[in-house]
Chains A and B, each alone.
Chain A
C-alpha cells in the first residue's frame, strides 16, 4: 500500500501521535483518503464524519504540541457499529425503520472513546438490528469482504471488520450476540473480541438479545484489542447488568499482554471440530501445534449440550428481540407510515414497511416462543439448556485455562449463497453461540488461509472475566505467527 501510515496498528499509531511524530490529522486524512478510494467498493460505512473527525484530530494535535495531557487513544481514528447511539449523525441499526433516527444521547462506549480522545470517523454497516451472519440483512447497503469482493464479510458486525481489514480505520467497535464480532473477524482476517457479558456497558447499544449482547473491539492485533479494552471495559451505573468491579476487577489489559501464561492448559472438543471444513480443521490443528511448541498441554473436553445451543439461542435471542423491537412503532420516533387509517395502522404499517425480512422472521419466532401455552416448552426450556451449557463450560474450565475451537465452520462464503436458507445461515454461528449463552469471553485470532486465500480464525474461549488471561493466550499465538500481518488488497 502506498500509505505506510495505514499499515500501522493502533498501538504504534497511538505512540507516534503521542510522541508528536505523526499528526492525528495526517492519520485521519489518510483514513478518509482510503475511504474515498475504497469504500465505494467495500461498503463498510453507513455514515462518516469527516469534518468533525478532522476538527477533533486538529484539536488533539494542538494539545500535544502545547504539551497538554491527552486521552489514552488520543488522535486514533476509530469506527463504531451503527447500533451504538451517537448524538452526531444517525443511529440506524442498518434498518429503514431507524434510517433517520438521531439519538439524543451517546452510548457509554462512545462517551468512553470520546473521553479517551479517539477520533470517531464513522459508523459501520451491519445486519439489520444485528440479526444475521453476513451483513446481507442490512436494510441500507451492501458490504463486501475486502479479501474477495464476491464474498460476504460475515456478520453482523461485517461493516466494522471490513473497515479494519480494508484499512478504513485503525480499530472499530462491534457487538456480539451469537458470534457477531468473532465470525466476521474470522472472515475478514482481523482480531475480534467478545468480552464477558457485563464487562462492557450496553447502555446505548440498541438491544437485540439483551441477555446475550456484548460490545467488543475489532482490531488488527491482539495487543490492540487489549488497548481498546482498557478504554471500554468497566462498570456503568446506567447498566444494571454491567458487573460491579468489586466482584470482577477491570485490569490494565496491556500491562502483561506480552507475558505468556505458564503451564498453559488448552482444551479441545474433538467431536465438535469434526464438523468444520477441512482447511479450517487443518488450521486449527496447526494452531494446536504452535501452542504445543510453546509448552502448552492439550487436553480433551466434552460439551454434551452444545448440540442444543443453536436451538436454545434462537429461542432466547428472538424472544428478547421481539420485545426489544416492539418500541419501533412509528408513534414516537423512526419511520411512520403515510396516512394511516387509524392508530393500529400506525403500528402495523410502519413496522411492515420499516423492518426487513429477517427481522420480521425473528420477531415472529420470538413472539411465538413467548406466547401463553408455548412459553414453557420453548422459552423456559431454552433457559434450562442455557444453564446446562454454562455447566459444560464450568466443568471444562476445571480442567483447562481455555478452550479452542474454530470460529466458524467455513471461511467467507459467496454473497447470496445462504440468503434463501436461514437455517444454513444460522449454522455459521455454531461455534460462537455457546459463549454468548454462557456469558464467557471469546476471541477470534487469524490462524491461516484456505485455498482461496481467505482468512481463517481461531477461537479461544476463557472463563468469565478472564479477558486478561484470554488476551495473553491469544497474544502467545500471535507472537509466533504472522497471519495477522497479512493485509487484504482491494482492487
Chain B
C-alpha cells in the first residue's frame, strides 16, 4: 500500500525573539525576567487612559542589526500599526506592531547541515512589535494577569517554507540563537521564552503519480530545541499516517493549531480551524514613522560582526580545523574572539583550539563563565601553545599549566618552571642517559637491531626508560632522534 507513496516535507517558521534592551519598547520600565508579578509596569505599559508610547530607539537598532545579519533589505521608512484583538494579557486590546511596512524583508540565513554543507533558508520579513503579558491560570475559579512582560520589544521573524526536516528546523533555530547572541541583541534563552518558535508543517505526498497536500499544522508550546525538532518529526509521521488512513488533504483554510505535549512527546490538537481574524490594522497615530537615513544605517552597520556560520566555515578553510572543532569555538562570540586573538598572538590554531576545547571550556564551565572571563590572556594562551609546539613542555603538561594559569595569573613559562615541567631537550645531556639505558638493556637493543615485529615495541620500551630516568622531563622527540641514530 505505502510502496507507491513518496513525500516531501515543507516547514516554515514564525519566530519571536525578545530583545535584551534595558527598557521596554514604548516605556521606561526595566526588562527583568522572573520579577514579582506586575512589579515592572507603569501607566504606559498598563494601557492606562491617556498614556502615549515613545519608541525605544535601541530596540529599533537591534532589530535593524538582525535584519542586516539576515541579509534582508532594510527599509528606509517604516511606521507602526495597531493590531486589534481582545485578550486579557493585552491591556490596550491592541498590539503595536508593523503591518505593511516591516523594517526588513527578503533576506536569507545559511544553516549548517550535518553533511558539513550549508543550506540557504529564505527570510520573508522581520519586524518589531511589543510583547503581551501572561495570563496565569493557577488560582481556582479565576485567572490572573502578569503584565511584567507587556511591552517587551519583540522581533518577529518569518521564514519561507524552505525547511524539510526536524533537523533542519533545529539547525536554523540553533543558528539563529547563535546569531542573535553574537549580535548581543537577545539572551535567546528558549526556556525563558526569549525565543519562541512556531513551525508550520505540511507534506506534499505523491501517490500513484498524483500530488496531494496535507493541511498545514502550526505547532505551539515549544520550549526547547529538542521539542522543536521532535514536534516536526512527529507531525511529519502523523500527517503521513493520517493521509494513508483517511486520505485527508488540504482544503480552503483548514489550517489547524496543535500544541506540543513534552511528557507524551506528541502534538495535541488545539484549534481545528483558524478563525478568520480581522485585526483591523491601521497606522498608530500616537507614533511617528521611522526614517532610517544613511548616517544612522551606517552607525548600526558598524555594530555588525562576522557572523558565526561564516566564522565556522573560515576556521575550517583558513585554520584547517575540523568542522566539529570550528563549531565548538564559534558557539559563542567571546570564545571565538578569544581563540582568534590567541592565534593572532602567534599560537598555532590547532594547538590553541585543542587547549580551548579540551581544557579551557571545561574550566570556564566549572567557573560558570565564558573563557574570556577566566584570568587568562590570549597572549599567555598563545605562549603556552608555542611552548608545547617547541617541545618545551609536553601536551599533557600543557593542560596542567593551563589549569594553573587560570588560578594564579602567572605566565606559562613561570608555571612550567615552578612545576618542573620543562622538557630536557639538550642533546648532549640526553645522549649520556641514552647510552646508559642502551648499556643496561642489551636485549632490547638486540630486538631493535634485528628489525621485524619486535623492533618497534623495543624502541618504545627504550624511549620509556629514558623518559623515566629523567623523571618525565626528557623531550620525547629529541630522545627518539638520538635513539634512532644510535641504533641504526
A residues engaging B (CB < 8 A)? 83-85, 91, 93, 98, 101, 103-105, 107, 202-207, 209-211, 237-241, 319-320, 322-323, 326-329, 331-333, 343, 347, 367, 370-372, 375, 379
Q: In the bound complex, do residue A211 and residue B88 qualify as a contact, i.e. CB atoms below 8 Å apart?
A: no
Q: Report the bound CA distance from A83 to B278 in whole Å.
A: 30
8 extra interchain contacts, Cβ-Cβ under 8 A, other than A205-B50, A206-B50, A238-B54? A103-B50, A210-B286, A240-B54, A240-B287, A241-B288, A327-B49, A327-B91, A328-B49
Chain A, residue nearest B92 (CB): A327
* Contact A93-B49, Cβ < 8 Å, known A105-B43, A375-B282: yes
Minimum CB–CB distance from A208 to chain B (whole Å) comes to 11
* Contact A331-B145, Cβ < 8 Å, known A85-B49, A323-B94: yes
Chain A, residue nearest B26 (CB): A240
The 6 A-B pairs of least Cβ separation, nearest first, read A326-B93, A211-B285, A210-B285, A370-B280, A206-B49, A204-B50
Q: Which residues from chain A contact B47 at a C-beta distance below 8 Å?
A: 327, 332
Q: Which residues from chain A contact B49 at a C-beta distance below 8 Å?
A: 85, 91, 93, 98, 101, 103, 206-207, 327-328
Q: In the bound complex, do residue A104 and residue B280 qualify as a contact, i.e. CB atoms below 8 Å apart?
A: no
Q: In the bound complex, do residue A203 and residue B143 qualify as a contact, i.e. CB atoms below 8 Å apart?
A: no
Q: In the bound complex, do residue B52 and residue A343 qualify as a contact, i.e. CB atoms below 8 Å apart?
A: no
Summarize A's interface: helix, strand, loop or mixed.
loop
Say if the beta carbon of B136 comes within 8 Å of chain A: no
Q: Which residues from chain A contact B94 at a C-beta distance below 8 Å?
A: 323, 326
Minimum CB–CB distance from B54 to chain A (whole Å) comes to 5
Q: Report the bound CA distance from A322 to B280 in whole Å.
A: 10
* Contact A372-B280, Cβ < 8 Å, known A205-B50, A240-B286, A241-B288: yes
Q: In the bound complex, do residue A323 and residue B84 qualify as a contact, i.e. CB atoms below 8 Å apart?
A: yes
Q: Which of A211, A332, A347 contacts B46 (CB 8 A)?
A: A332
Q: Which residues from chain B contact A347 at a C-beta distance below 8 Å?
A: 86
Q: In the bound complex, do residue A326 and residue B43 qualify as a contact, i.e. CB atoms below 8 Å apart?
A: no
Q: Which of B43, B93, B286 contacts A241 (CB 8 A)?
A: B286
Chain B, residue nearest A204 (CB): B50
Q: In the bound complex, do residue B43 and residue A104 qualify as a contact, i.e. CB atoms below 8 Å apart?
A: yes
Q: Which residues from chain B contact A84 at a C-beta distance below 8 Å?
A: 50
Chain A, residue nearest B47 (CB): A327
Chain A, residue nearest B89 (CB): A331
Minimum CB–CB distance from B133 to chain A (whole Å) comes to 10
Query: Which residues of B (50-72) have their CB < 8 Å from a CB of A?
Result: 50-55
Q: Which residues from chain B contact A206 at a C-beta distance below 8 Å?
A: 49-50
Query: Which residues of B (220-254) have their CB < 8 Å from a CB of A?
Result: none
- Contact code string B147-184 (vs A, CB < 8 Å = 1, else 0): 00000000000000000000000000000000000000
Q: Which residues from chain A contact B50 at a C-beta distance below 8 Å?
A: 83-85, 91, 103, 107, 202-207
Q: In the bound complex, do residue A238 and residue B48 qualify as a contact, i.e. CB atoms below 8 Å apart?
A: no
Q: Which residues from chain A contact B48 at a C-beta distance below 8 Å?
A: 85, 103-105, 333
Q: Report the bound CA distance from A347 to B286 in whole Å.
A: 24
Say if the beta carbon of B82 comes within 8 Å of chain A: yes
Chain B, residue nearest A239 (CB): B52
Q: Which residues from chain A contact B143 at a C-beta distance below 8 Å?
A: 343
Q: Which residues from chain B contact A331 at a C-beta distance below 8 Å?
A: 88, 91, 145
Q: In the bound complex, do residue A371 and residue B288 qualify as a contact, i.e. CB atoms below 8 Å apart?
A: no
Chain B, residue nearest A201 (CB): B52
Q: Which residues from chain B contact A329 at a C-beta distance below 8 Å?
A: 86, 93
Q: In the bound complex, do residue B88 and residue A343 qualify as a contact, i.e. CB atoms below 8 Å apart?
A: yes
